[in-house]
Amino acid sequence: MPRKLHLPSRGFLKTFRANFFPMAYRQLLILILSAFAAGCGLAETILVAPSAPPAKPAEVPVSAAKPGPWGQLESSPIYLEAPDFLLAGVPKPNSVPHWSFIGTDTAALRTLFQRAGLSETMQQRLLDPQRRTVLDGVTTLYPLVPDLEAMTPEMRTIVYAELAKTPLNEFHYSPIFIPGGNLDEWLRDTDLTEEIKGLIRKMTYRRGRALVFSDLRTLLNHAHTDAEVQHIFKTATRTRTLVANIKIPADSDIKAIAAYWTGGRADSDILPLLASVAERPCGTTLDITHLLPPLARRRLYTYPTPDLATRGRMPDCHWTALNFFSRSPQDYYLDTRLASRRVIENYATVAPPYRFGDLLFFNNAAGETIHSCVFIADDIVYTKNGENFLAPWMLTRLGDVQDIYLSTPVSTMQGYREKLAQTP
């Protein structure tokens, strides 16, 4: 469950919830660029000419960023899946679907099911006293797998919105999000059987702006081997991230580019790299990973390891956002009270256009911050979507984050900028 931070909103304080490369590698990169500054044609020949003609690669979609102070950016999507050693330590649920409702009686459940358009026979099976339990105010129903598979997306949207109110329904409370709603792209290159892929296509539904999936237990009823079970859980961690490059032509205004990507910080360790790039007569292209601050650079595209739990909490979105410019992690940001004070005392609200390093906070209808991320450039943000160790640090589209955390019309997003970074 997302941590709640207590921060200021527009005008006043309001309560709301809320791959550093080794230095030797970076120095080597600078030396390579400098060595070929006077002969970039030769450098290009040496660095990119293969020893044998390569096979034609699959076409990867490349998106060009809007013009801005960040320079000429291009990005491509890739998908991350949690590594096997992390998945091995995660308890797997059983294959018995269940729906749990807190403080809800039979009459209220029938009203919900009728509003969702469930058939009368399915309602009878769901409410059969032989197929439900009531314990400590929690009513738990055990829907049949064929009934679940027969539900329409519209039925799921209504019923699952109610199930999402409690973490007792873990996969409804925290569903699998399909980035951009592109299910075919999300399923491509997975090891799932065609049967399982077909079920996922059939059982996705809308949660606000996002396309999501919650029926993981149903899928397990169609797995025939242990390998298929592992493929299902690995795919469940699948998330879309971005690889982004900045093109720096020879006539670029390096000072302006450096001013943007350092966030105005004179002690940024990317300055030697940009100075070397400025000496190249034919320009260059850099992965923007090299332009991130040390800790963010080190974490990007990686997963937190279980040993981090010994600190009492796993790193979450707020820890990630507040540590963005840190050279080493400040773990007191895991304390909600201290993280809130950090924002209140050191940040001010800002409106678009956002700048590199600005924090974006997502507030629910109650004014609670349920997520935070860091603005990078154009529509790209740096984020960790969740506290658990199956959520990686990544770059993604701001729209993908909004699909997850702006789930209702009254949800809001507010930008914050460190006061030292304010424009005079």
- Residue 270: inside a domain, yes or no? yes
Amino acid at 331: D
| Banded model confidence at residue 91, pLDDT cuts 50, 70, 90 | confident
Are 233 and 93 contained in the same domain? Answer: yes
Are 180 and 284 contained in the same domain? Answer: no
| Banded model confidence at residue 161, pLDDT cuts 50, 70, 90 | very high
Instruction: Give the separation between CA 293 and CA 300, rounded to whole angstroms.
Output: 11
Residue 65 has a pLDDT of: 95
Are 313 and 249 contained in the same domain? Answer: no
- Residue 51: inside a domain, yes or no? no
Are 281 and 361 contained in the same domain? Answer: no
Are 324 and 274 contained in the same domain? Answer: no
End-of-domain residue from the set 237, 253, 276: 237
Residue (of 215, 225, 92, 224) closest to 147 by Cα position: 215
Domain span including residue 332: 5-21+296-421
Starting from the edge strand earliest in sequence, which strands make up the sheet with 138-141, in order?
Answer: 99-102, 138-141, 132-135
Are 149 and 275 contained in the same domain? Answer: no
Res. 8: pLDDT tops 80:
no
Residue 39 has a pLDDT of: 41
Res. 21: pLDDT tops 50:
no
Whole-model pTM: value is: 0.83
Angle at 17 between CA 306 and CA 309, to 5 degrees: 10
Residue 37 has a pLDDT of: 41
- Residue 149: inside a domain, yes or no? yes
End-of-domain residue from the set 194, 215, 237: 237
Instruction: Give the separation between CA 319 and CA 212, rounded to whole angstroms.
Output: 26
The pLDDT tens digits for 246-263 are 999 988 899 999 999 999
Are 71 and 185 contained in the same domain? Answer: no
Res. 153: pLDDT tops 90:
yes
- Residue 148: inside a domain, yes or no? yes
Domain count, the chain: 3
- Residue 202: inside a domain, yes or no? yes
The pLDDT tens digits for 35-90 are 334 344 333 333 333 445 555 555 678 999 999 999 999 999 999 999 999 999 88
Residue 19 has a pLDDT of: 38
- Residue 53: inside a domain, yes or no? no
Residue 1 has a pLDDT of: 54
- Residue 49: inside a domain, yes or no? no
Res. 5: pLDDT tops 90:
no
The mean per-residue pLDDT over the stretch 101-108 comes to 96
Question: Which distant-in-sequence residues (6+ apart) come within 8 Å of 373 by Cβ?
Answer: 317, 320, 321, 359, 360, 381, 382, 383, 401
Task: Work out the mean pLDDT of the chain and round it to a whole number.
Answer: 86
Instruction: Give the separation between CA 278 and CA 37, rounded to whole angstroms.
Output: 9
Are 315 and 386 contained in the same domain? Answer: yes
End-of-domain residue from the set 202, 221, 237: 237
- Residue 329: inside a domain, yes or no? yes
Given a contact cutoff of 8 angstroms between Cβ atoms, the answer to whether 2 and 341 are in contact is no
Instruction: Give the separation between CA 209 and CA 225, rounded to whole angstroms.
Output: 35
Q: Where are the alpha helices (DSSP H) in 117-176?
A: 120-127, 145-150, 153-163, 170-173
Res. 27: pLDDT tops 60:
no
| Banded model confidence at residue 310, pLDDT cuts 50, 70, 90 | low
Helix (H) or strand (E) run with residue 43 in it: helix 40-48
Instruction: Give the separation between CA 254 and CA 249, rounded to whole angstroms.
Output: 10
Res. 28: pLDDT tops 50:
no
The mean per-residue pLDDT over the stretch 328-338 comes to 90
Residue (of 155, 157, 169, 171) closest to 219 by Cα position: 171
Are 395 and 316 contained in the same domain? Answer: yes
Are 209 and 302 contained in the same domain? Answer: no
Strands 239-248 vs 284-287: parallel, antiparallel or unpaired: antiparallel
| Banded model confidence at residue 139, pLDDT cuts 50, 70, 90 | very high
CATH code, domain carrying 333: 3.90.1720
Res. 34: pLDDT tops 70:
no
- Neighbouring-strand partners of residue 330: none
Are 257 and 169 contained in the same domain? Answer: no
Residue 58 has a pLDDT of: 56
Starting from the edge strand earliest in sequence, which strands make up the sheet with 359-363, in order?
Answer: 347-350, 412-418, 359-363, 369-377, 380-384, 393-397
Instruction: Give the separation between CA 95 and CA 90, rounded to whole angstroms.
Output: 16
In degrees rounded to 5, what are phi and psi of residue 255?
A: -65, -40
Residue 314 has a pLDDT of: 87
The pLDDT tens digits for 349-373 are 999 999 999 999 999 988 889 999 9
Structure token digits, residue 414: 């507010």
- Neighbouring-strand partners of residue 417: 348
The CA-atom distances, in angstroms, between 237 and each of 36, 92, 187, 232, 370 are 42, 13, 12, 9, 20
Are 28 and 115 contained in the same domain? Answer: no
The pLDDT tens digits for 188-238 are 999 999 999 999 999 999 999 899 999 999 999 999 999 999 999 999 999
The pLDDT tens digits for 379-390 are 999 999 988 889
